[in-house]
Amino acid sequence: MRNIERITVVGVGYIGLPTCVVLAQAGFHVHGVDVNPRILESLNAGKSPIDEPGLQDALDEARTRLSFSDRMEPADAFFICVTVPLVPGADGIERADIHIVESAADSIATVLKAGDLVVLESTSPPTTTRRIHQRLAKKSGLAYDSFHVVHCPERVIPGAMMKELRENDRLIGSPTPEAAALAKSIYDRLLTKGSVRVTDDVTAETAKVVENAYRDVNIAYANELSVLCEKLGIDVFELIALANCHPRVNIHTPGVGVGGHCIPVVPWYLIEQFPDDTTLMRTARTINDRKPLWVCERVEEIVAPPAQICVLGMTYKPDVDDLRDSPSVDFARELQSRGYRVTVCEPNAKTDTVFEFENLTLNQALQKDFIVITLAHREFKAAREQIAAVPHYDCVGLLK
């Protein structure tokens, strides 16, 4: 079997960069390619552009086996770690746009050799791996069977990536045993705890998609319960805690919606392909997308515009610095459109503004007429008593 020594990672964002670093720590020589000059400038100055526990130290440690640039470099293996965004359709169905993955493949094709391995780590609609394999063959001029393409979905959680990259079980979706063995030889060197499971490419793609869809459906159930509980006059957080005492029940926590790059996005990869067979997933998307509006309506029942409202928490989940696709942003904008004077408190942003909103310290936030708690950040957990003393609406059960 081919000995893998050099790996080129395409896309050094939230997933690609920690992946580069753990690969280099495992002894591989790793080149990270990105199109974003801001990211490259930071990395070439030795600084991680992402605030992720343990990442900067690991980057410092593995520095001699790492390089970053906007140029594709030949390697034994290539990891694709770019995104698959959605494009809204006129029929209300969001469609996966794989052009970024295709463009990553096109640049790999310029240096691809017989025997090389391409690992698609990006969460992708079922059958993308096969389409990328065909594209690589066409663009490189190599025979389809002369190189290997597998799908290995990434399942790490921001905030614990450096641990989970080494300890989570990995899935290798491969069309052939040879490609699977080659990919396994890489992950076996990385993993300190998790095991590697091998399946075919479409099953691996679908497994990752349904993991995200499962969580979206579970959160939609919790969000639906929060609506019912308001009507029943009972506390949804107490209700869920009691229901979860059952050994086979695990209801997630309701919130102001569902955010991030994965959970609200990935279910559409199946819904768009099978619109008549995904009623549950589609309904979950509708429930979760409507939640920011529903919370606004509850706030309006308690306090009238133009009250000063501070939104506590603007990232898409607690204790991370990632503001992308956050329902708190939709919520703050909706409040503003209804005539409230809106500020925010996002301790992880470390900037004076978050999007168009002034970013206050927690002490400043507590001076406002009303606060809405959208995330249980650790800073907010440490100040429960002070927060509870201000008129508030608690979307996430911080004060329970």
39 binds ligand NAD (CB under 6 A): yes
- Span from 11-19, 136-144, 335-343, 364-372 in contact with ligand NAD (CB under 6 A): 11-19
Q: Give 136 or 262: the residue with its C-beta nearer to ligand NAD.
A: 262
Give the DSSP letter string of 347-361: TTT-SSEETTEEB--
Chain centroid to CA 164: how far? 14
13 binds ligand NAD (CB under 6 A): yes
Of 262, 310, 345, 395, the active-site residue reads 262
Q: Cβ neighbours of residue 34 under 8 Å, at least 6 residues apart?
A: 10, 11, 12, 13, 16, 40, 68, 70
109 binds ligand NAD (CB under 6 A): no
Q: Cβ neighbours of residue 25 under 8 Å, at least 6 residues apart?
A: 58, 61, 62
84 binds ligand NAD (CB under 6 A): yes
14 binds ligand NAD (CB under 6 A): yes
- Span from 98-106, 218-226, 244-252, 361-369 in contact with ligand NAD (CB under 6 A): 98-106
Q: What is the chain's alpha carbon radius of gyration, rounded to the nearest angstrom?
A: 23
Of 20, 81, 152, 208, the active-site residue reads 208
- The DSSP code for 53 is T
Total binding residues for ligand NAD by CB under 6 A? Answer: 27
Closest CA to 109 of 156, 151, 72: 72
Distance CA 17, CA 36 (A): 13
Shortest distance, position 113 Cβ to ligand NAD, whole Å: 19
82 binds ligand NAD (CB under 6 A): yes
- Reply yes or no on whether 231 is catalytic: no
| Tokens matching residue 105 | 């493949």
Q: Give 294 or 355: the residue with its C-beta nearer to ligand NAD.
A: 355
Closest CA to 104 of 7, 172, 11: 11
Chain centroid to CA 79: how far? 18
Measured between alpha carbons, how far is residue 325 from residues 91, 107, 330 in Å?
Answer: 22, 28, 9
Distance CA 153, CA 140 (A): 24
Selected from 4, 21, 33, 332, the binder of ligand NAD by CB under 6 A is 33
User: Binding to ligand NAD (CB under 6 A): which residues in 127-166?
Assistant: 154-156, 158
Shortest distance, position 142 Cβ to ligand NAD, whole Å: 20
Please measure the distance between the N-terminal and C-terminal CA atoms of the chain and give it in whole angstroms: 56
User: Binding to ligand NAD (CB under 6 A): which residues in 259-288?
Assistant: 261-262
Selected from 44, 69, 103, 367, the binder of ligand NAD by CB under 6 A is 103
Shortest distance, position 36 Cβ to ligand NAD, whole Å: 4
- Reply yes or no on whether 296 is catalytic: no
173 binds ligand NAD (CB under 6 A): no
Which sequence positions are flagged as catalytic? Answer: 208, 262
Residues engaged in binding ligand NAD (CB under 6 A): 10-16, 33-36, 39, 81-84, 100, 103-104, 122-123, 154-156, 158, 261-262
